[in-house]
Amino acid sequence: MLQIDLWKRLLIWITVAVGLVLALPNLFYPRVEQHNDAVAAIELSGESPELLDQASGWPSFLPSGLVNLGLDLRGGAHLLAEVQVQDVYASRLEALWPEVRDVLRPERDTVGTIRLQPSATGELRVRISQPEGMERALELVRGLAQPVVSLTGAMSNDLNVVAEGSDVVVTLSEAEQIATDERTMQQSLEIIRRRIDEVGTREPTIQRQGTDRILIQVPGIGSAAELKEIIGTTAQLTFQPVVGRSDDANASPGVGNEVLPSLDESGVFYILEQAPVVTGEELVDAQPSFDQNGRPAVNFRFNPTGARKFGDYTAANIGNPFAIVLDNEVISAPVIQSHIPGGSGIITGNFSVEESTQLAVLLRAGALPAGLEFLEERTIGPELGQDSIDAGRIATLVAFAAVLVFMTLSYGLFGVFANIALIINIALIFGLLSAIGATLTLPGIAGIVLTVGMAVDANVLIFERIREELKTAKGPARAIELGYEKALSAILDANITTFITAVILFVMGSGPVRGFAITLGLGILTSVFTAIYVTRLLIVMWFERRRPKTIEV
Amino acid sequence: MRLRLVKQNTNFDFFGKWKLWLGISAVLVVLAFGSFLLQGLNYGIDFRGGTTIRTESTQPVDVGEYRDAIGALGLGDITISEVFDPTFGPDQNVAMVRIQAQDGEEAVSVAVIEQVEAALAEVVPDIKFVSVESVGPKVSGELIQTAAIAVLLAIGAVLIYIWLRFEWQFALGAVAALVHDVILTIGIFSELQIKFDLAIIAALLTIVGYSLNDTVVVFDRVRENLVKYKKKDLKEVLNLSINETLSRTFMTSATTLLALIALFVLGGDVIRGFVFAMIWGVIVGTYSSIFVASAILLWLGVKRDWTKPTDTTGNQFANVDA
């Protein structure tokens, strides 16, 4: 009658044991956290007695996965940034101008003189003086186009080249725009990740959301503003030839040139050629250092192509100034003293030590391909997080105790079985949360408390059913069996429907809401498991030992 | 001696006045909806855009003083409220400052936040800004849309599931109860002007889950009794089923409420609104599974003979009893 196969019993106990062991590290949170940090540090930078000591605070044969604490519990900063993907189109087209010039120049006989025209963003406009040669010009410029590699496989070129009067107008094709957006996003994600890693905070979340957004969550950082300083700067470094100096921001620079302000001298503007000689993309290293006068500066080194371009340019332009430009501000405009062949150099300016260090970090991590606009930012102070944890912990314990007492009063011994299952249930939730590396948020704690309340539901259903069956069934064993059998469909239906809403919450929700969905969903899984298997096993084991003639539920 | 919330073998007549109960529920729904239309919800920044700053200081909060300090900046609509909570320490004075989204700005302005913080720090020297949250209008519009879709999706998914497992009358009854619960919850939030933010959407969906849980348990018993007592009147079967499950209904509601009340009192003010929504939802959800879901089932009528499989017997999923 009341029988559970041995293998099933073993499986149940093993599952419970695994859950408990996985949940164990959370009881020793600070110690395990220290251990994990130390292990990570050893992997990164080798052993030191201090680190080894910290690492030995937690035995390595035990699991060390912890429940991540969400920002609302630990404090930290949260940013939702939108990548200005269109920025990239402009710089792509800007960089195209020298190429266009170079292919048209040899054909001057057919197309006449060529001139760059001021153009709207997202297009490159070149005027030729002999419109009769337009056919040839279009053909040549179209020759610059390259096929786009896209997932859809449709063959298309990256450039649209059309004639408008005597202008050749170049724009990026739609396929190329999509491909560019994708690349921009990948790059932005990678660069934000690198910058945050350089600063070295624990477990940052950097996630793409939708087509052009990035979610960044960094625990333990002081404020969102601080975080924005690290990731908000595009850090686009260029070396551009200087045409002249001006004190007027509205000076007309001439076609193909631009006016940029100086970083630290107010009222000083430089007229520069738009197309850079070399860009920060070709940097391989940047380190904070000091110049010969002992002022903070940044040392940099180019890759071989960058070094060649830089070397050639300096050799050809000795005595001319060139500008070092960061995010459209001129850091400095030194005069080229001699040919610089080695591909390394130094950026000087009015830096403080912190500024030069940060600039080096930014240059090393690389420039963001496009600007970021921040749509959402949240800073949660660590004190508030700690308050929330404390309040949550007390509330959970009280809720837990109240339910335990209530169940024992209502169902006696069976209530105690349900309570044991409930404790196992909570441990399993924490075990699962740790195993999948989920994040616990404040609503997540509420989810656990709700689970505490609702987890007993399955047992209540069964116990009430056993009570009913006791009135009619022959003997307690049969009543227990029938109780489980008949309560099952109600338990499953009720929990599946709740589980459906948890899944929808998880898919649609974000941040804290998602944390709630996770604990609610896991709570349903574990509570069904504990109610159907664990309490049943407990009751069966008790029944086998005692063989009571009557039972009271 | 066992603690019994409901004595054994109850025989309450739940459906003697079922039309009255349905009527009352309908009136309540209309009232809640009216309140929502007339007064509107007190949307948090998640849905409206703007900035909230939570301050903490050892000095008592003087709302007027705060208002004067920030008012001079000309930032439009500003709400300042002091927060009280039993979990606070003796010298912990907390206030919430809410600044509306600035016109014409898609993104969040750091300058505004810095201005406000500086102005407040001048008035209250030891002030700390324990949390600062800003949401741009662009995102908040999307958030409210996603939230509405989530609630509708949840209700839709449930409708389909119950239809597959039971019959369409059951599905309609359950969904009517859900809609009833959701509208009453929104109604009380608009009537009491409690802050309505993303977390409340989570609470709403949980209410959907909980109310359903309750309804399904009753329906499961109805299904069973319909097979068992083929001769009995539908009204009697429903009444019997509810009486049989009454003890369980109260036990589960009681344990859940116990846990939630602990959280409400001790869990701190940050999630109090959220927990309030759930407490309300548990109460309304329990009521609605009897007086709305089952009453509608009675109203719609239901196929009686579940033993003979015919083409109209639900479908192949109806007998999946695991």
If asked whether residues B75 and B161 sit together in one domain, one would say no
Q: Is residue B29 part of a domain?
A: yes
pLDDT of residue B36: 92
pLDDT at B310: 47
Element (H, E) at A145: none
Size of interface A-B (CB pairs under 8 A): 244
User: What is the rounded distance in angstroms from the CA atom of residue B274 to the CA atom of residue A490?
Assistant: 28
How distant is the Cα of A167 from the closest Cα of chain B, in angstroms? 36
Does residue A339 share a domain with residue A386?
no
Residue of B134, B220, B245 lying closest to A493 (CB–CB): B220
Structural domain for B34, as ranges: 18-43+140-300
Q: Which stretches of chain A score pLDDT less than 50?
A: none
Domain extent at residue A332? 236-353
In a domain, residue B312? The reply is: no
Query: What is the maximal distance between C-alpha atoms in chain A?
Result: 112
* Average predicted confidence (pLDDT) for chain B: 84
- A539 shares its domain with A397: yes
Average pLDDT score over residue span B227-244: 88
Query: What's the CATH code of the domain at B197?
Result: 1.20.1640.10
Does position B76 have pLDDT exceeding 50, yes or no?
A: yes
Q: Are B34 and B148 in a shared domain?
A: yes
Residue where the block lists tokens 């250092």: A289
Which of A461, A513, A516 is the mutation pick for testing B, counting most B CBs within 10 A?
A: A513
Query: Is A63 among the domain residues?
Result: no
- DSSP annotation string for A222-254: S-HHHHHHHHH----EEEEEEEEEES-TT----
Q: Is residue B280 part of a domain?
A: yes
pLDDT of the residue at A146 = 81
The count of domains in chain B is 2
Q: Which amino acid is at A95?
A: A
**Residues in A touching B165 (Cβ below 8 Å):** 493
Q: CB within 8 A of A325, min separation 6: which ones?
A: A237, A238, A239, A240, A260, A272, A276, A331
The reply to whether A241 and A317 lie within a common domain is yes
| pLDDT tens-place string over residues B310-319 | 444 445 555 5
Question: Do B123 and B152 belong to one domain?
Answer: no
Q: What's residue B114's pLDDT? A: 84
- The answer to whether residues B146 and B286 belong to one domain is yes
- Note whether B232 and B260 are same-domain residues: yes
Tell me the percentage of chain B whose pLDDT exceeds 70: 92
Task: Please list every residue in chain B whose beta carbon sits closer than 8 Å to the beta carbon of residue A468.
Answer: 244
B249-290 per-position pLDDT tens digit: 888 898 889 888 988 988 888 888 888 998 999 999 999 988
Same domain for B30 and B73? no
pLDDT for residue A408: 92
For residues B8-32, average pLDDT: 87
State what percent of residues in chain B have pLDDT above 90. Answer: 17
Provide the pLDDT for residue A349: 78
Contact A386, A74 (CB under 8 A): no
Same domain, B55 and B175: no
**Statement to judge: residues A120 and A19 lie in one domain:** no
Asked if pLDDT for residue B25 goes beyond 90, the answer is: yes
The reply to whether A131 falls in a domain is yes
pLDDT, average across residues B285-303: 88
How near does any CA of chain A get to the CA of B210, in Å?
A: 7
Distance CA A254, CA A251 (A): 9
Check whether residue A119 and residue A245 sit in a common domain.
no
Asked whether residue B95 is domain-assigned, the answer is yes
Which amino acid does the sequence have at B99? I
User: A201: which 2 tokens?
Assistant: 């905070």
Identify the pLDDT of residue A201.
67
Task: Mark yes or no for CB contact A384/B87 under 8 Å.
Answer: no
Tens digit of each residue's pLDDT (9 = 90 or more) over A399-453:
889 989 999 998 889 999 999 999 999 999 999 999 888 888 888 887 887 787 7
Q: Residue A535 domain-assigned?
A: yes
Q: Are residues A318 and A418 in the same domain?
A: no
pLDDT at res. B304:
67
Which segments of A252-292 are extended strands (E)? 257-261, 269-273, 278-279, 283-290
Query: Among residues B135, B162, B193, which one ends one of the domains?
Result: B135
**pLDDT tens-digit profile of B185-209?**
999 999 999 888 888 887 887 788 7
Asked if residue A386 and residue A488 are part of one domain, the reply reads: yes
Q: Confidence band (pLDDT; 50, 70, 90) for B37?
A: very high
From A179, A194, A221, the end of a domain falls on: A179
Nearest to B278 by CA among B185, B196, B144: B185
Instruction: Output the pLDDT for position B32.
Output: 94
Same domain, A112 and A162: yes
Give the per-residue pLDDT at A204: 83
Chain A residues with CB inside 8 Å of B254's CB?
406
Candidates B117, B222, B255, B317: best to mutate against A (most CBs of A within 10 A) is B255
ipTM of this complex prediction, to 2 decimal places: 0.81
Dihedrals phi, psi of A412, to nearest 5 degrees: 55, -130
**Residues B293-320, mean pLDDT to the nearest whole number:** 66
Largest CA distance in chain B: 80
Chain A contact set for B112 (CB, 8 A): none
Binned at pLDDT 50, 70 and 90, residue B107 comes out as: low
pLDDT at A306: 86
Whichever domain contains B54, its CATH number is 3.30.70.3220
Q: What is the CATH number of the domain that holds A421?
A: 1.20.1640.10
Best B140, B165, B251 residue to mutate vs chain A (most A CBs within 10 Å): B251
Asked if residue B321 belongs to a domain, the reply is no
Task: Tell me, yes or no, whether B205 lies in a domain.
Answer: yes
- Looking at B85, B105, B135, the residue that finishes a domain is B135
Query: Residues A132, A279: one domain?
Result: no
Query: Which pLDDT band holds residue B306 (cuts at 50, 70, 90)?
Result: low
Report CB contact under 8 Å: B128, A381.
Answer: yes
Banded model confidence at residue B307, pLDDT cuts 50, 70, 90: low
Are B216 and A398 a contacting pair at CB < 8 A?
A: no
The Cα A159–Cα B304 span in angstroms is 70
Residues A390 and A342 both lie in one domain:
no
Residues B25 and B55 in one domain: no
Number of domains forming the structure of chain A: 3
For residues A536 and A389, membership in a common domain is answered with yes
